[in-house]
């Protein structure tokens, strides 16, 4: 059974006519007995009120309301203001700005909680990952970290990342009713979580509001332009196909149309623990491939590292919780370096569980990398060794070929980012969070076998 989410990036603060797209989508879905997920930007509720669109607020009562950032493409964007050296300064800016938008959306639509943060295009800053998790979001939808084959949920940076898989914006203008089943088969059948997304204004407007007004700069409000409007016949053709598409999904027994909130209930995990017996099962898999574990449970490398640090200090299981990666590239020993059990215990006691992992550990004049220390922990815990010889060239990074979009990530000059976005920290630091990545329990360990 494929879980299907219909996700609507609801963001246009320029085109009054485009707001009709919100109403039309919401109404068609309700008439067909389907709840959609409308991802609202913080700037939109006040604009809808100014336009007198009480009808939209009323229609959206039936649907799930999610978050699409506070200011979306207004500069500085999330990526632009978080591309600084200090994570904590960037996080403070992020939470200050985004909390304002969250509260506006929750208040305007009378919601206590917004299940998903559906991020604007390419604004997948590592700060946003941790920031949305800290703000209580379960999902980071539209991420750069995703399963490119089966579209499984990917856990990372304390949120669940979902692949924003297929836009409906253009395709429903081109398809005919008879070809819609083939489109669904080719794109969605057999996937785990399939997200079809649509920008509601695009059924009326030929271009994006932000591309017209915020491409690399903020156009003053008095010079905002309204996107060119489709012919009425084109718009009606889109909605005819939209209704046909919705019915085809709904009536196909292999698809279940759900919301982010409903998916959250499906993904509830039991407490994840790691004890010595678990480590014994995990270690051969780590030796085979230094990559997250999916059996006997879902564990990222940081889970395992912290579990070892717990177990070497006390005889009680480690309860997995929040995890953090690195802020700079981890060190690895450059020559054979002996680590004693006493040194490992001392280093384990120094590890802060609620902070980013140290890129290097220093003790008795020796420098030891996190991967080196992890291997030493395992030797002491499972082999009864009193000392461990760390050797050069042990890779610290997981296989990023399994996540090609993360491996090749480069935010510079992406989408409508300002020309001054240097991407000094964003791309590299998101890759440095790879120790927090994990895949669902009992699923395939790898994406590309």
Summarised one tens digit per residue, pLDDT across range 168-207 is: 999 999 999 999 999 999 999 999 999 999 999 999 999 9
Q: Do the Cβ atoms of 44 and 9 come closer than 8 Å?
A: no
How far apart, in Å, are the Cα atoms of 257 and each of 90, 248, 316, 443?
Answer: 37, 11, 42, 22
Please give the average per-residue pLDDT across 50-70, as a whole number.
98
Is the same domain home to 230 and 371? no
Is 124 contained in some domain?
A: yes
Is the same domain home to 59 and 156? yes
Does 414 have pLDDT greater than 90?
no
Is the same domain home to 121 and 240? yes
Is the same domain home to 221 and 365? no
Is the same domain home to 45 and 178? yes
Is the same domain home to 203 and 254? yes
Q: What per-residue confidence (pLDDT) applies to 147?
A: 97
Is 415 contained in some domain?
A: no
Residue 145 belongs to domain spanning: 2-266
Does 122 have pLDDT greater than 90?
no
Q: What per-residue confidence (pLDDT) applies to 156?
A: 98
Is the same domain home to 219 and 283? no
Q: What per-residue confidence (pLDDT) applies to 315?
A: 83
How many C-beta atoms lie closer than 10 Å to residue 318's C-beta? 22
Q: What per-residue confidence (pLDDT) applies to 307?
A: 98
Is the same domain home to 107 and 196? yes
Pairing of β 37-40 and β 64-67: parallel
Is 421 contained in some domain?
A: no
Task: Kindly report the pTM of this predicted structure.
Answer: 0.97
Helix (H) or strand (E) holding 405: helix 404-407
Does 343 have pLDDT greater than 90?
yes
Q: Do the Cβ atoms of 72 and 40 come closer than 8 Å?
A: no
What does the alpha-carbon distance between residue 276 and residue 312 come to, in Å, rounded to a whole number?
10
What is the token pair recorded at 283?
Answer: 């270690």
Is 13 contained in some domain?
A: yes
What tens digit of pLDDT does each residue of 358-384 get?
999 999 999 999 999 999 999 999 999
Q: Which of 371, 433, 375 is nearest to 400 (CA)?
A: 433
Q: Assign residue 182 the CATH number of its domain.
A: 3.20.20.370
DSSP 8-state class, residue 62: G
What is the token pair recorded at 341?
Answer: 């059990």
Is the same domain home to 260 and 298? no
Q: Do the Cβ atoms of 187 and 176 come closer than 8 Å?
A: no
Q: Do the Cβ atoms of 300 and 370 come closer than 8 Å?
A: no
Pairing of β 2-10 and β 255-258: parallel
What is the token pair recorded at 145?
Answer: 């970290």
Is 449 contained in some domain?
A: no
Give the number of C-alpha atoms closer than 13 A to the C-alpha of residue 83, restricted to the C-beta side. Answer: 21
How far apart, in Å, are the Cα atoms of 50 and each of 43, 60, 320?
Answer: 12, 17, 47
How many C-beta atoms lie closer than 10 Å to residue 39's C-beta? 28
Is the same domain home to 336 and 358? yes
What is the overall mean pLDDT for the chain? 97
Is 198 contained in some domain?
A: yes
Helix ranges (H only) for 289-365 are 301-311, 341-350
Is the same domain home to 214 and 277? no
Helix ranges (H only) for 257-300 are 260-266, 276-288
Counted domains in the chain: 2
Q: DSSP strand E in 106-180: where?
A: 116-118, 139-141, 154-156, 159-162, 166-167
What is the token pair recorded at 106?
Answer: 């929750």
Of 218, 234, 266, the last residue of a domain is 266
Of 266, 301, 322, the last residue of a domain is 266
C-alpha torsion sign, points 391, 393, 398, 399: negative
How far apart, in Å, are the Cα atoms of 346 and each of 265, 331, 353, 408?
Answer: 41, 19, 15, 38
Is 439 contained in some domain?
A: no
DSSP 8-state class, residue 392: T
Helices and strands in the chain, H and E counts: 17, 16
What is the token pair recorded at 315?
Answer: 């005889």
CA angle in degrees (0–180, nearest 5) for 354-359-363: 100
Please give the average per-residue pLDDT across 313-323, as a whole number.
95
Is 79 contained in some domain?
A: yes
| Percent residues over pLDDT 90 in the chain | 97
Is the same domain home to 238 and 308? no
Of 228, 249, 266, the last residue of a domain is 266
């Amino acid at each position: 059974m494929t879980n299907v989410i219909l996700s609507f990036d609801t963001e246009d603060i320029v085109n009054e006519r485009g707001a009709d797209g919100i109403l039309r989508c919401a109404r068609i879905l309700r008439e067909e007995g389907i709840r959609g997920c409308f991802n609202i930007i913080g700037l939109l509720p006040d604009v809808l009120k100014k336009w007198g669109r009480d009808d939209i607020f009323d229609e959206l009562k039936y649907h799930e309301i999610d978050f699409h950032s506070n200011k979306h493409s207004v500069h500085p964007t999330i990526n632009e203001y978080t591309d600084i050296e200090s994570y904590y300064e960037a996080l403070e800016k992020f939470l200050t700005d985004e909390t304002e938008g969250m509260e506006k959306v929750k208040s305007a639509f009378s919601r206590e909680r917004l299940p998903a943060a559906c991020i604007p295009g390419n604004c997948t800053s590592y700060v946003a990952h941790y920031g949305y998790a800290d703000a209580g979001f379960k999902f980071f939808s539209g991420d750069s970290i995703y399963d490119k084959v089966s579209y499984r949920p990917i856990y990372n940076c304390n949120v669940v990342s979902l692949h924003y898989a297929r836009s409906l914006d253009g395709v429903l203008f081109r398809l005919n009713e008879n070809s819609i089943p083939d489109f669904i088969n080719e794109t969605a059948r057999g996937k785990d979580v399939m997200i079809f997304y649509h920008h509601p204004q695009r059924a009326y407007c030929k271009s994006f509001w932000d591309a017209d007004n915020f491409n690399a700069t903020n156009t003053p409000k008095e010079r905002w332009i309204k996107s060119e409007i489709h012919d009425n016949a084109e718009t009606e053709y889109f909605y005819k196909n939209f209704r046909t598409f919705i019915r085809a999904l709904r009536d196909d027994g292999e698809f279940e149309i759900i919301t982010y909130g409903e998916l959250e209930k499906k993904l509830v995990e039991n407490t994840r623990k790691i004890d010595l017996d678990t480590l014994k099962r995990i270690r051969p898999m780590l030796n085979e491939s230094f990559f997250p574990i999916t059996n006997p449970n879902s564990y990222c490398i940081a889970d395992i590292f912290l579990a070892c640090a717990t177990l070497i200090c006390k005889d009680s299981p480690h309860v997995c919780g929040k995890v953090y990666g690195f802020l700079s590239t981890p060190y690895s020993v450059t020559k054979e370096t002996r680590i004693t059990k006493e040194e490992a215990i001392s280093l384990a006691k120094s590890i802060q569980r609620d902070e980013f992992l140290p890129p290097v550990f220093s003790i008795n004049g020796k420098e030891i990398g996190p991967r080196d220390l992890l291997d030493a922990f395992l030797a002491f815990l499972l082999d009864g060794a009193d000392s461990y010889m760390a050797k050069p060239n042990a890779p610290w990074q997981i296989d990023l070929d399994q996540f090609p979009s993360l491996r090749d990530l480069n935010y510079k000059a992406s989408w409508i980012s300002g020309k001054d976005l240097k991407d000094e920290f964003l791309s590299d630091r998101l890759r440095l969070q790879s120790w927090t990545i994990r895949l669902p329990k009992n699923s395939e360990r790898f994406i590309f076998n």
